[in-house]
Amino acid sequence: MRMKSSIQLPTTPTPTAVAGNVSDEEYTVGNTVEECQHNIQRVNTVINKTKQKLIQCYCNIGLELMKYKLLSITEYCAKCTINRNEAALSCHACVKITGNRRNLSVFMKFSCETLNCTHDWVNFLISLGRLCKQYPKFKYVTLSLMEIKGHMKTLTTKMKAESDFWNM
């Protein structure tokens, strides 16, 4: 797998740590909608200022988007009520609950406008955040986001099979 050979573990502070004070080692995901929004804007500013499309930054945005979307879900379907975790992010029943529709619409509007992207890209970044949370070493892959996006379906399966490698 070419992705495994592209990993570069940091030995010195990354440009993101210097440019915008969002070092991966120190990064904390927000606990409220406002904190998530602020963090998304902050990391996006770092990406735009440094012009370096580091996957660590996109993973951090993905983690923030994931948390923000979870915070936007206030009512859960019968299946998701038990766990109230990340499964609700892709649960069609939870998304269709009337109380969640407005919050999720606000979430998507903010995300698309702030990141200047489409709904599809927001969902891709959330998937990236999930992978990063599940497999921490994934943050240090140096392939382009477009290459990763093109192989997302097989990526998850292969990483699961090699989970010992992908966990730090």
Summarize pLDDT for 95-112 with one digit per residue, the tens.
888 888 999 999 999 999
Whether the pLDDT of residue 151 is over 80: the answer is yes
Range 123-139 average pLDDT: 90
DSSP state string for 79-144: HHHTT-SGGGGG-HHHHHSHHHHHHHHHHHHHHHHHHT--HHHHHHHHHHHHHHHH-GGGGG--S-
pLDDT of the residue at 121: 95
| Among candidate residues 68, 76, 60, 62, the one with its CA nearest the CA of residue 16 | 60
pLDDT of the residue at 153: 83
pLDDT of the residue at 81: 77
For the range 29-32, what are the long-range contacts, defined as Cβ-Cβ under 8 Å and sequence gap of 24 or more? 29/60, 29/63, 29/64, 29/67, 30/64, 30/67, 30/68, 31/67, 32/71
Alpha-carbon separation of residue 1 from 44, 102, 141, 155, 158 (angstroms):
30, 42, 12, 10, 9
pLDDT of the residue at 123: 93
**Band (163; pLDDT cuts 50, 70, 90):** confident
The dihedrals phi and psi of 162, each to the nearest 5 degrees, come to -115, 40
pLDDT of the residue at 69: 93
pLDDT of the residue at 52: 63
Whether the pLDDT of residue 16 is over 80: the answer is no
Mean pLDDT, the chain, rounded, equals 83
pLDDT of the residue at 51: 66
Whether the pLDDT of residue 115 is over 90: the answer is yes
Alpha-carbon separation of residue 89 from 31, 82, 127, 129 (angstroms):
17, 14, 10, 12
Q: Each residue of 62-95: pLDDT tens digit?
A: 999 999 999 998 888 888 877 667 778 888 888 8
